[in-house]
A = this chain, B = another copy of it.
Amino acid sequence: MSWLDLPAGTGFGPENLPFGVFSTPGTAPRTGVAIGDSVLDLAAATADPVHATGSLNAFMAQGPQAWAALRQQLTRWFTDQRHRGSVEPHLMPRADVTMHLPVEVADYVDFYSSETHAANLGRMFRPDSEPLTPNWKHLPIGYHGRAGTVQVSGTPVVRPAGQRRAPTDEAPTFGPSQRLDIEAEVGFVVGTPSALGTRVPVEDFADHVFGVCLVNDWSARDLQAWEYVPLGPFLGKSFLTSVSPWVVPLAALESARVAPPARDPQPLPYLDDGAHPWGLDITLEVRLNGELISCPPFRELYWTAAQQLAHMTVNGASLRTGDLFASGTVSGPARDQRGSFIELSWGGKEPLPLADGSTRTFLQDGDVVSISATAPGPDGTRISFGEVTGRVEPTP
């Protein structure tokens, strides 16, 4: 289908075409498109300055017609032999480039839309109450995170220090987090803004969302547990959120759309997605130091990203180009589908056995966590999201 010699089973075929921001030694960051093991220098290939700004924001702000037109052009370039001569000079090995944060993040919102995850955390954080709070099945619960600490995959994870109080302690103590954790999530990037005082209904989702990336919402569970009542997580999360360098266009995920789970009770009309199902059959893989430890199933999430967007704006809050909203930890019902160590080790009480015979509860200094994901593409192809990775470094 393509004149390119693509690796067998690549998730970066011409049906994917994810966008990122890259540089080579001595050059400025600019927009690229991943194809096979290569990256196309879009700034050079198109000579369009919108792709030379060092983030995807300017192009994302052009809106869905511009996104579709460029995608069509890229497909032509990569599948029609006649374009080979003009396109090939702008390809370079992905192994040779440095990837940067793809998006200048405006606001970052983190949702909490996996029923399994929310119930697991409820059991651990609030053992004397119902696992799900009374509002959980009525609205996609979410909160704002720190946009300034959203960083690209590969950024070191400096173990945060802070206050924590063990149940046996009278007063809090200060020191490095002893319960450093991950949250395996999927993130959605807003391209088209909306006006203050207006709403974005479920059916307008694809007019506003440009693409999808992977998110690791690093979490210090001991800091979080002590601080989060009554205003929510703050320092337990704000030290770092990592995102994958490649943003997969929403248009590449048409073949991955599935019906979301049935909801009971029926959500309020503004959250009714019956005619616009945006379940997505994305399977995540979580690796600790190279060992596969979990495969969280995104398709089982109770609330879809389209519902999250409708909820986030139903009060008239505006969207900006570069807004990032994440799904919340993706966890399935099986143990090897859990998207965080607090769930994998059940609050540290059931250490996770590893292939080398050791066990793990929470992250140790030096640990490397990588989250990757794939989804079905058209005609039996596979769409890869690449990966988001980070290595834990000791508190300075």
CA distance A16 to B165 in the complex (A): 44
CA distance A396 to B230 in the complex (A): 31
Q: How far is the CB of A383 from chain B (nearest CB, A)?
A: 30
**Any B CB within 8 A of the CB of A26:** no
Contacting pair B238 A268 (CB below 8 A): no
Contacting pair B112 A138 (CB below 8 A): no
Contacting pair A315 B142 (CB below 8 A): no
User: Which residues of chain B are within 8 angstroms of A318 by Cβ–Cβ distance?
Assistant: 148-149
Q: How far is the CB of A354 from chain B (nearest CB, A)?
A: 28
Contacting pair A223 B151 (CB below 8 A): no
Could you say which of B143, B151, B198 contacts A143, with CB atoms under 8 Å apart? B143
Query: What is the count of identical protomers in the complex?
Result: 2
User: Which residues of chain B are within 8 angstroms of A142 by Cβ–Cβ distance?
Assistant: 231, 234
Known: A196-B149, A270-B174. A139 touches B227 (CB 8 A): yes
| Surface stretch bound by B, among A51-59, A154-162, A251-259 | A154-162
**Any B CB within 8 A of the CB of A3:** no
**Any B CB within 8 A of the CB of A316:** yes
**Any B CB within 8 A of the CB of A235:** yes
| CB-based nearest B residue for A236 | B315
Contacting pair B314 A161 (CB below 8 A): yes
Which residues of A in the span 293-319 have a Cβ within 8 Å of any Cβ on B? Answer: 311-312, 314-319
Contacting pair B158 A112 (CB below 8 A): no
Interface readout for A216-235 with B: 1 if CB under 8 Å, 0 if not?
00001001001111111111
User: Which residues of chain B are within 8 angstroms of A197 by Cβ–Cβ distance?
Assistant: 156, 158, 396
**Any B CB within 8 A of the CB of A147:** yes
Q: Which of A149, A160, A233 gathers most chain B CB within 10 Å?
A: A149
How many A residues have CB within 8 A of the partner chain? 65
User: Which residues of chain B are within 8 angstroms of A235 by Cβ–Cβ distance?
Assistant: 311-312, 314-315, 317
User: Which residues of chain B are within 8 angstroms of A155 by Cβ–Cβ distance?
Assistant: 196
User: Which residues of chain B are within 8 angstroms of A223 by Cβ–Cβ distance?
Assistant: 315
CA distance A80 to B319 in the complex (A): 48
Q: How far is the CB of A263 from chain B (nearest CB, A)?
A: 13
Known: A220-B315, A240-B196. A230 touches B126 (CB 8 A): yes
**Any B CB within 8 A of the CB of A320:** yes
Contacting pair A196 B265 (CB below 8 A): no
Interface readout for A12-28 with B: 1 if CB under 8 Å, 0 if not?
00000000000000000
**Any B CB within 8 A of the CB of A72:** no
Contacting pair A315 B161 (CB below 8 A): yes
**Any B CB within 8 A of the CB of A145:** yes
CA distance A165 to B139 in the complex (A): 12
CA distance A197 to B161 in the complex (A): 10
24 contacts between A and B (CB under 8 A): A106-B147, A135-B165, A138-B172, A139-B163, A139-B172, A143-B144, A143-B232, A143-B233, A143-B234, A144-B145, A144-B146, A147-B147, A148-B320, A149-B318, A158-B316, A160-B315, A162-B315, A197-B396, A198-B396, A228-B230, A232-B233, A235-B312, A238-B315, A239-B317
